Amino acid sequence: MMPTFDDWKAHGERIAVDLGGQTFHIWTRRQGSGPTLTLLHGFPTSSFDWAETIAQLPDFDILTLDFLGFGDSDKPADHLYSIHEQANIVEAVWSHFGIRATDLVVHDYAVSVTQELLARRLERRLTVDLGSAVFLNGGIYPDLHRALPAQEALLDPEKGPVISQMVTEETYTASLLMTFPPARQPSAATLHELWRCVENRDGHRIGYRLIRYMLDRRQYAARWTSALEKTDVARRFVWGMLDPISGGHVVPRIRERMPGCPVVCLDDVGHWPALEKPDAVVAAIRASTVAAH
C-alpha cells in the first residue's frame, strides 16, 4: 500500500543546492544498501510516484529526489524552469551524496533530463558513471509526443497563467485520469495524494512555468535524440502501451533506432507504469542492472 505524501516526504530531507549564485532546497531521499540506483520522476507529480517501486528494492542503495518546482522541493513562483537546470540539480545532488556511479530509472519529464545527462556523458562532461538506464513512458522523440489539450493550453503564454490560478483538486484529477486506461483507474485516495504532491508549497500555481519543458524538448530535439541513440549506456524501455501521450505509437521508433535495446510492452498500462504495474517495473530494473553489471 502506498504511503501518504506527508509520510513519504517526512522520510526524506531537503538539501541546499547552489546553482548560478542561487540556492535552492531540493527534497531528497536515500535508503537501502547495495548498488546505487537513482530514480527520477515525471510531470506534474514527484518522486512519490516511486513509492511502491522502491518498497520492492531493499537490496539497492536508492536515491530519489523532487525536481525544482515539484513535490517538496522549492517552487519559486517567478523562476524560469528548464531541463538543463534540472540536470544540473541531479549532478549537484549526486555530488552532495558522494555518488560516483549509479544506474538510472526515469519517467516522463525525467527522460529529457536523462537525455541531457547522456549528452554530457558523450561530451565527457559527466563526472558520474552511468551503468544502465530504464526509461518509462516519456517524450524521447518530441515529434511523436501527443500533448493533451490541457497541456497545450497550459503552455499558451496568455491562457497558461490564468489556468494555473484556477487549478483545483477536481480539475487536476480530471485531467490526470485521462492518462490512465479505463481498466486501471486509480483510487480516489491515490488521486488525492498525487494532488498533494502538486499543491504542496503552492506548486499548482506554477504549472504554466513547469510545462515549458515541452519547448525545451522541441529546441533540443536533435541533441537529446542523438544522445539517447548513440550512448554507450545500456538502455531498457518499459512502456505503457495505452498511454495517450507517449504510448504504443512510440515503440516502433524505439525498435527501429535502438534495435539492441530490450523493450517491455505493458499492453494494459497507460502513462504511469510505476503506479499502475510496479511489479513489472521492478522486474525490468532487476533485469537491467544484472545485464549491465
Render pLDDT for 29-65 as a digit per residue (tens, 0 to 9). 999 999 999 999 999 999 999 999 999 999 999 999 9
Report the residue count for the chain.
Answer: 293
Name the pLDDT band for 119 (thresholds 50, 70, 90). Answer: very high
Nearest to 39 by CA among 118, 121, 132, 155: 132
Which residue spans within the chain are E strands per DSSP?
13-19, 22-31, 36-40, 61-65, 101-107, 129-136, 234-240, 263-266
Write down the pLDDT at residue 293: 78
Name the pLDDT band for 291 (thresholds 50, 70, 90). Answer: confident
Write down the pLDDT at residue 56: 96
Write down the pLDDT at residue 270: 98
Write down the pLDDT at residue 83: 98
Q: Is the pLDDT of residue 292 over 80?
A: no
Write down the pLDDT at residue 2: 84
Which domains can be identified in the chain, with CATH numbers?
A: 5-292 (3.40.50.1820)
Write down the pLDDT at residue 274: 98
